[in-house]
Amino acid sequence: MNTPVRTATGGALTALLLAIPLSAAATGAEVEGDPDNVPSGALEDSVTEMGTADSITGFTPEDFIEPLEHEDVEGGTTTVTISADVLFEFDEAALSDGAQRTLSDTAERLSGVSGTVEVVGHSDGLGDDSYNQELSEDRADAVKEALEDELGSAAPEIEASGMGSDDPVAEETDSDGEDNPGARAQNRRVEISFEGE
């Protein structure tokens, strides 16, 4: 029995709320804050130009932002490191929808490469070692398959392997022993190494 009363009350309240703005618009009365009735000059007076150089000091974005992809060239070997968070959903080995664009760009660089391309998956240190090993191998295999599909018959030989959490690039706990999620994110990665640039 209570349901019909609520419905009728809700309907009456909705009709009342809808009627108020309509009646103000029908009379042509100016409603404060109405975007259609802004006095001339008010908009220009409300905008203040502000230069970031004068208002932000002591902050260098590069010091706080970790790249999601970077490359290192050592000798004749180039290693492209891509954050696993760009390629995969958390705790998954299937490539995400956005991964294909990233891997397409990398695949272009691999066409015509001589020698073997190495794809190595890495995980963070959360969870069981054997699980992390399997996840990193599965992720490396997924990247290998995507690169081979992208390159077709022009694909060089590509080998895939996983390191699990055995080769971290960042310490996953701080000096107090607290978890460092940013470091864990850095350790979840896929490295693609090849001869040349």
What pLDDT is stored for residue 39 in this prediction? 75
What pLDDT is stored for residue 52 in this prediction? 62
Residue 172 lies in a domain: yes
**Residue 196 is encoded by which pair of tokens?**
């040349």
Q: Give me the DSSP letters along 128-160.
A: -HHHHHHHHHHHHHHHHHHHHHHHGGG---EEE
What pLDDT is stored for residue 175 in this prediction? 87
Residues 19 and 71 in one domain: no
Residues 111 and 171 in one domain: yes
Q: With a cut of 70, which residues of the chain have pLDDT below it?
A: 1-33, 43, 50-67, 197
Residues 126 and 166 in one domain: yes
What pLDDT is stored for residue 17 in this prediction? 47
What pLDDT is stored for residue 45 in this prediction? 73
What pLDDT is stored for residue 36 in this prediction? 76
We report the CATH number of the domain holding residue 87 as: 3.30.1330.60
What pLDDT is stored for residue 50 in this prediction? 66
8 is in which domain, residue-wise? 2-47
Residues 73 and 42 in one domain: no
